[in-house]
Chain A
Amino acid sequence: MVNPTTRSERGDELPQGGDAPLPAVRRRRFLTYLVAAPALTVAAKMGLDSAASPAAEAIPSLPQLPEVYDLGDLIKLSCEPTKDMLVLEVDKDGTVRLFLPRMEVGQGITTAAAMLVAEEMDVPLSKVEIPLSDARPELIWNQLTGGSSTIRTVYEPIRNAAASARTSMVAAASKKYGLPAEELTTRDGAVIAPNGSVYPFGSLTAYAANAELPKLAVKTKSSSEFKLIGKKTDRIDARKMVTGQMEYTLDLDVPGAMPTMVRRPPTIQGSPKEILNEDEIRAMPGVIDIAMVATGVAVMAETFGQALDAKDALEVNWNPGTIDGLSNEDIKARLSAAAVPFTVPSGLTDFIDAEFDFAPVSHAPLETNTAIADVRSDRAEIWSGLKIPIIALQNIAQEVGLSEDAVTVHVVQSGGSFGRRLFHDGALEAARISKAMGKPVKLLWTRVDDMRHGRIRGASHHKVRATFASNQVLSYEHRVASVKTDWRHGFGEAITAAGAEGIGNLGYTQTIFNMTVECPYNFGAVTEVINEPENVILNTSAWRSVYSAMTRGAEEIIVDEIAAKLGKDPYEFRREFLKTDEARAVLEKVAVEGKWGKNMPDGHAQGIAYHQEYRSRTACLMEMDATDPKNPRVYKATIAVDVGRPINPTGLQAQMISGMTDAIATMHRAGLHFEDGLPLEGSYSQFHYARQKNSPIDVRVFVMPPNREEPGGSGELGVPASAGAFGCAYARATGTKPRSFPINFDVDFEPFPR
């Protein structure tokens, strides 16, 4: 346990505030937590991992926490008490419906869930529907979509539920037709009798629901029997999407819910003081109502166009926000001052010291914050894209003064999240407005507001020190200082609940950092510590891959620099220093398939990087043309991914392509400039998320064959390795040492008015 403890000891010195306890308490609590939660698992696996150190030359690093017990394990543990409380129903027409207590935002989890059901129930995929479950408070923590944990947490429970439903169908047929159960089989949504008679599940469902059925043992299939799991499968909702039939929150028809928009303050977390021209606004065409709420002034109108005009015409006096007057440079200075000192002195051996900066980034899902709310005196109903709907329900109930069982929260499939919809800002605001106006509301945030007042990944500053001597890396230290990440959406409580008392006291940030970020190389003494100072408070939420894209991205850039100092090829160096053969396998895959080391024209280069997290591994090899250093183009990417047990390779590949695009966007051009307490950026013409012209023309994603029973996570996995590959390719193509991202970060636009 030495290494995690070491990391916590470093943490002891951190000047943390907020949810962190006094320093002296923290280490004891940290140990408490390790023992309290996964004691046996940790102990058993630790011995194994430290014995298996394959790189003979390198100085083995002690195992880091994510290698033995990661965030996903903890989320899984939090789901454990209610994991089997899934609702699965079989219709008379044979349709099987599993209500998924998770949130689809584009990751393809409904398709994967449908595959699990179809596989275990022996029904055709086309007969399976996966509606998203309304908020179900009785599930406690088992309705949380985050940390790339969905497949990890539902893989067994869904298969159990489907296998149990299949067994019920067999039992029903056995009883109804007087046939011995052991002679019955199932195929294509039907029970098959020995004489060839076919009894469709739909014809058995009513009987199964009413009859006293014989108790049969429920058995899920072994992976060797899988016919569908592991096969390339297209999205079950694709046709709706390409025909315009897919319904997002604002496409729903809720009687009486009229278009509503909010005028927001000129600085982050400001609030309205007084409306100066209410009568004038009420007289504008189409305007129905106006209400002041905590976050701004809401206007309801016949159409969104009219609501937009009216809210723009509002004149409002505002109270100040939390970062009035603050700009990117101030935030950077505060972060730089907050980084914890290194422990290994420089100068005794060869060393590299480096500092990195990553700009703030908007989640910017293409569907902005949206919600429908109908709050009455005795009940409320909410529709919105919510990744933690139970907490949304509880907060909304409290806010509008209703008991929790008087509030219904419908989870609506959404146009992206990337971490944004962990929070329920839109739903809460819509509920407040509905209560204030006494009418159902259909709330849309403008893009400008979504980018400026929506949540973001805060800026981070990184200090890295690596020491090395004669072909060996002696130490690797990484100090992260980041704008405080807001974990108050319930995720923090979920892991606290799972991990016993100690976690909350460690601070969510340090805990989550410890459980997700790991150096995959044998770099001797490794310490990685994060600090989030209390003097920059703005609207944040975990952004796809949370701390890893920056921490691991920067680390991969330094890996190249260490290799260069030791006179080694970046690929060969990684091969030698990676801790495991599984890691080497994905790295080798991209090196071979992507032709590592081939001749490149001047100004072009390859970059290679590796990442592991969520019990999965990936490597990325990019080819870049940086002849115009401000506008490099990644024109080819080769990615290998090993999730242990792929469910749907097509969806997995999609996630890797998506993560790669996020990496290219945030390393190249996408960032926010805070100026005087508000981002300047207000649309995609200013926040330069990647477009088609920034995307590689050739992308190949290799899915490694299954090598484990349990699937690892993948939703966020693609970002860090691609960020690293981008940085390394850029450094090699330009002969520079990139340290600040995005690399092209000019204010090349006229900001919208506040």
Chain B
Amino acid sequence: MPNYTFTVNGKSVTVDAPADLAMLWVLRDKLGVKGPKYGCGIDVCKACTSHLDGDAFNPCQTPVSECDGREVTTIEGLANGDELHPVQEAWLEEDVAQCGYCQPGQIMAAVALLKKTKNPTDEDIDAIENVCRCGTYFRIREAIKKAAAAMR
């Protein structure tokens, strides 16, 4: 099996894996990085949303070969030690999470949105497709607005 080398949350790792193995399983089953969640495996629910070179990506539909030499950030790598990212802080202030299963993906999607769009409109927020089966959408919206204000 080929070797692939990339960074996960700032640390360089090398894995031995079939080229087409989805990154979600490389992260979860080979590297023990469990923040990204399985919700559909076909790039629909977005529960696995993480960042590849700083952009949102869905590791369930990204083969490991595509990540070679690149930087992967998962929810575990978002905070700076104990200091949370402003989006995580806003999530706490709005008490967004219910079951919490979608929230790593929601937060990573929101961070990616705010990187590109400093002052997202309601339409911008509407475009986020991450499923929250607990229906926390309204608090997610409020938290994104709060984080945007905090990051200005």
Residues of A bordering B, CB below 8 Å: 105-108, 234-235, 237-248, 250-251, 253, 259, 285-286, 302-306, 308, 364-368, 413-416, 418, 444, 446-447, 650-651, 654, 657-662, 665, 683-685, 689-697, 699
A447→B40 CA distance, assembly (Å): 5
Q: Do residues A691 and B129 form an inter-chain contact, with CB atoms below 8 A?
A: yes
Q: Do residues A259 and B29 form an inter-chain contact, with CB atoms below 8 A?
A: yes
Q: Do residues B99 and A106 form an inter-chain contact, with CB atoms below 8 A?
A: yes
Q: Do residues A308 and B41 form an inter-chain contact, with CB atoms below 8 A?
A: yes
Q: Do residues A244 and B95 form an inter-chain contact, with CB atoms below 8 A?
A: no
Question: A415 to chain B: which residues have CB within 8 Å?
Answer: 37, 99-102, 133
Q: Do residues B37 and A690 form an inter-chain contact, with CB atoms below 8 A?
A: no
User: Which residue in A241, A285, A685, A695 is a CB contact (below 8 Å) of B97?
Assistant: A241
Q: Do residues B91 and A366 form an inter-chain contact, with CB atoms below 8 A?
A: no
Q: Do residues B102 and A699 form an inter-chain contact, with CB atoms below 8 A?
A: no
Nearest B residue to A418, CB-CB = B133
User: Can you give 23 A-B contacts (C-beta < 8 A)?
Assistant: A106-B98, A235-B97, A238-B95, A242-B104, A243-B75, A250-B38, A251-B34, A305-B24, A364-B133, A366-B37, A366-B134, A414-B99, A415-B100, A416-B99, A416-B134, A446-B41, A447-B40, A657-B135, A660-B135, A691-B130, A692-B137, A694-B137, A697-B141
- B114 contacts partner chain A, Cβ-Cβ < 8 Å: no
Question: B97 to chain A: which residues have CB within 8 Å?
Answer: 106, 235, 237-238, 241-242
Q: Are A366 and B135 CB-contacts (below 8 A) given A242-B91, A447-B41?
A: no
User: Which residue in A244, A259, A367, A695 is a CB contact (below 8 Å) of B76?
Assistant: A244
Q: Do residues B38 and A692 form an inter-chain contact, with CB atoms below 8 A?
A: no
- B22 contacts partner chain A, Cβ-Cβ < 8 Å: yes
Q: Do residues A367 and B99 form an inter-chain contact, with CB atoms below 8 A?
A: yes
Nearest A residue to B129, CB-CB = A691
A87→B99 CA distance, assembly (Å): 24
A665→B135 CA distance, assembly (Å): 9
Contact with A along B106-135 (1 / 0, CB 8 A): 010000000000000010011111111111
Q: Are A303 and B25 CB-contacts (below 8 A) given A242-B88, A366-B99?
A: yes
Question: A303 to chain B: which residues have CB within 8 Å?
Answer: 17, 21, 25-26, 29-30
Contact with A along B62-81 (1 / 0, CB 8 A): 00000000000011101100
Q: Are A693 and B99 CB-contacts (below 8 A) given A242-B107, A304-B38, A684-B44?
A: no
A233→B79 CA distance, assembly (Å): 23
User: Which residue in B1, B18, B37, B134 is a CB contact (below 8 Å) of A106?
Assistant: B134
Interface residues of B in 4-44 (CB under 8 A from A): 17-18, 21-22, 24-26, 28-30, 32, 34-42, 44
Question: A695 to chain B: which residues have CB within 8 Å?
Answer: 135, 137-138, 141
Which of A259, A364, A444, A693 gathers most chain B CB within 10 Å?
A: A693
Q: Do residues B126 and A692 form an inter-chain contact, with CB atoms below 8 A?
A: yes
Q: Do residues B98 and A658 form an inter-chain contact, with CB atoms below 8 A?
A: yes
Q: Do residues B98 and A444 form an inter-chain contact, with CB atoms below 8 A?
A: no
Q: Are A683 and B42 CB-contacts (below 8 A) given A416-B101, A650-B95?
A: yes
Question: B125 to chain A: which residues have CB within 8 Å?
Answer: 692
A657→B94 CA distance, assembly (Å): 13
- B103 contacts partner chain A, Cβ-Cβ < 8 Å: yes
A374→B102 CA distance, assembly (Å): 28
Q: Do residues B40 and A244 form an inter-chain contact, with CB atoms below 8 A?
A: no
Question: B130 to chain A: which residues have CB within 8 Å?
Answer: 691-692
Q: Do residues A243 and B98 form an inter-chain contact, with CB atoms below 8 A?
A: no
Q: Do residues B91 and A238 form an inter-chain contact, with CB atoms below 8 A?
A: yes
Q: Do residues A246 and B100 form an inter-chain contact, with CB atoms below 8 A?
A: yes
- B151 contacts partner chain A, Cβ-Cβ < 8 Å: no
Which of A418, A658, A689 gathers most chain B CB within 10 Å?
A: A658
- B148 contacts partner chain A, Cβ-Cβ < 8 Å: no
A684→B138 CA distance, assembly (Å): 19
Question: B99 to chain A: which residues have CB within 8 Å?
Answer: 105-106, 365-367, 413-416
A449 to chain B, nearest CB (A): 11
Question: A285 to chain B: which residues have CB within 8 Å?
Answer: 1, 18
- B140 contacts partner chain A, Cβ-Cβ < 8 Å: yes
Q: Do residues B28 and A304 form an inter-chain contact, with CB atoms below 8 A?
A: yes
A657→B141 CA distance, assembly (Å): 13
A351→B130 CA distance, assembly (Å): 46
A-B contacts besides A250-B38, A693-B126, 17 pairs, CB < 8 Å: A106-B99, A240-B100, A242-B91, A243-B76, A244-B34, A247-B34, A305-B22, A415-B37, A415-B100, A416-B101, A446-B41, A657-B139, A690-B137, A692-B127, A692-B129, A695-B137, A697-B141
Question: A689 to chain B: which residues have CB within 8 Å?
Answer: 131, 133
Q: Are A696 and B79 CB-contacts (below 8 A) given A242-B103, A366-B101, A654-B98?
A: no
- B150 contacts partner chain A, Cβ-Cβ < 8 Å: no
Nearest A residue to B23, CB-CB = A305
Nearest A residue to B88, CB-CB = A242
Q: Do residues A241 and B103 form an inter-chain contact, with CB atoms below 8 A?
A: yes
Q: Do residues B44 and A683 form an inter-chain contact, with CB atoms below 8 A?
A: yes
Q: Do residues A654 and B139 form an inter-chain contact, with CB atoms below 8 A?
A: yes
A689→B39 CA distance, assembly (Å): 13
A651 to chain B, nearest CB (A): 8
Q: Are A366 and B131 CB-contacts (below 8 A) given A415-B37, A695-B141?
A: yes
Q: Do residues B40 and A684 form an inter-chain contact, with CB atoms below 8 A?
A: yes
- B84 contacts partner chain A, Cβ-Cβ < 8 Å: yes
A330→B138 CA distance, assembly (Å): 38
